[in-house]
Amino acid sequence: MRKKIFITGASSGIGKGIAKHLAEKNHVIISDCDGDKIKAAQADLRAQGHRVEAQVFDVTSESDLASLQQQAQSQGIDVLINNAGMQYVSKIEDFPPQKWQQLIDIMLVGPAMTTQAVLPAMKAKNFGRIINIGSVHSLVASAYKSAYVAAKHGLIGLAKTVALEVAAHDITINTVCPGYVDTDMVRDQIKQQAAVHQISESEVIEKIMLKNMPKKTFIEIVELAGTVEFLIGPFAKNITAQAITLDGGWTAH
Ligand code: NAD
């Protein structure tokens, strides 16, 4: 079945990659708070032969959330992918309170509110699939990432709770939890860590990023896209409230 799929934070990295993969068989709407970036992403995907709709959408904006609710009611949304995110690294004593709040707003309150916005339409249709892009940091912690780790852990509780509330409507909600993926977000961290530790970027990758990943390789975006495709497909209809982990063995430690 061709599904209508709405992805947040999809102008780059994981969201854009998932959109590219799913656009072959589905109607995909990519969205992002950055208007220029989302237009550029749409043009890039179209140039590669992938037709996607694009929309400016900020997961923290009350008016954007209200519009999403109307859009879901009038045009339908079968699949919501909560992907928007950001990182900020600091020890807790120095963490700016506004930054802590911003990370929680984007990566925990945002997914809760987008879920709230699409659920009435999904319930009316008796079908829905919600995927949260969590992280290995939904399951374990790394120092200096308190807001990120707290937000990503929170997604698992959100999914468990919503799963119970909507199970009778054939709506599932799961959290995909990758280890490090080579995207802009991670490239920024690599640069920062190289400067802080006065080592080269390749040493950061080897000694810091992949240290906890026994398979010693980044997770590829296509692996995440394939996992999402499985979770929205017929064989996963009874998989709900789960954390699906792609971490190269990280959490076996
Ligand atoms: P990215 O920086 O390429 O993409 C994140 C996108 O979110 C950006 O396009 C940004 O504009 C958008 N965004 C930020 N705030 C927003 C808001 N308020 N409303 C709408 N969009 C907003 O990063 P990525 O690596 O592709 O990350 C995507 C998701 O995957 C994030 O939730 C991230 O935490 C998660 N993740 C990434 C990794 C990794 O190693 N890259 C690992 C685990 C989980």
Residue 193 in this model has a pLDDT that exceeds 90: no
Choose one of 133, 139, 222 to mutate for the ligand 1 pocket test, by most ligand atoms within 8 angstroms of C-beta.
133
Instruction: Give 94-135 pLDDT, tens digit per residue.
Output: 999 999 999 999 999 999 999 999 999 999 999 999 999 999
- Residue 244 Cβ contacting ligand 1 at under 6 Å: no
pLDDT computed for residue 1 by the predictor: 84
pLDDT computed for residue 58 by the predictor: 99
In Å, how far are 80, 111, 157, 166, 208 from 9, measured between CA atoms? 12, 11, 21, 25, 26
- Residue 32 Cβ contacting ligand 1 at under 6 Å: yes
197: confidence class by pLDDT, cuts 50, 70, 90: confident
Token pair listed for 178: 């990758």
pLDDT computed for residue 212 by the predictor: 95
Q: Which of 7-16, 190-199, 224-233, 244-253 has the lowest average pLDDT?
A: 190-199
In Å, how far are 31, 62, 97, 243 from 109, measured between CA atoms? 17, 11, 16, 18
Query: What single letter denotes the amino acid at residue 190?
Result: I
- Residue 12 Cβ contacting ligand 1 at under 6 Å: yes
Instruction: Give 123-178 pLDDT, tens digit per residue.
Output: 999 999 999 999 999 999 999 999 999 999 999 999 999 999 999 999 999 999 99
Token pair listed for 7: 């992805």
Of 200, 111, 186, which is closest to residue 156 (Cα–Cα)? 111
pLDDT computed for residue 169 by the predictor: 98
Residue 185 in this model has a pLDDT that exceeds 90: no
Choose one of 57, 145, 185, 217 to mutate for the ligand 1 pocket test, by most ligand atoms within 8 angstroms of C-beta.
185
CA distance 246 to 248: 6
For every residue of 37-104, DSSP letters joined together read HHHHHHHHHHHTT---EEEE--TT-HHHHHHHHHHHHHH--SEEEE---------GGG--HHHHHHHH
Dihedral sign of CA atoms 105, 106, 107, 108 in order: positive
Q: Torsion angle, CA of 82/41/246/226, rounded to 10 degrees?
A: 90
Sheet holding 4-7, edge to edge: 53-56, 27-32, 4-7, 79-82, 128-133, 171-178, 243-246
- Residue 11 Cβ contacting ligand 1 at under 6 Å: yes
Q: Which of 21-30, 145-154, 188-197 has the lowest average pLDDT?
A: 188-197
For the chain, the structural domain boundaries read 4-179+220-245, 181-218
End-to-end CA distance of the chain: 40
Query: What single letter denotes the amino acid at residue 165?
Result: E
What is the DSSP-derived secondary structure letter of residue 1?
-
Residue 189 in this model has a pLDDT that exceeds 90: no
Report the nearest atom of ligand 1 relative to the CA of 10: 9
Q: At what angle do helices 146-166 and 110-125 cross, to 10 degrees?
A: 20
Q: Which of 59-73, 127-141, 164-178, 189-203 has the lowest average pLDDT?
A: 189-203
Percent of the chain with pLDDT over 90: 94
Question: What average pLDDT does the segment 83-92 reach?
Answer: 95
Residue 11 in this model has a pLDDT that exceeds 90: yes
Residue 46 in this model has a pLDDT that exceeds 90: yes
Domain 4-179+220-245 has CATH 2.60.40.1760: no
Token pair listed for 11: 């102008």
Q: What is the mean pLDDT of the chain?
A: 97
- Residue 246 Cβ contacting ligand 1 at under 6 Å: no
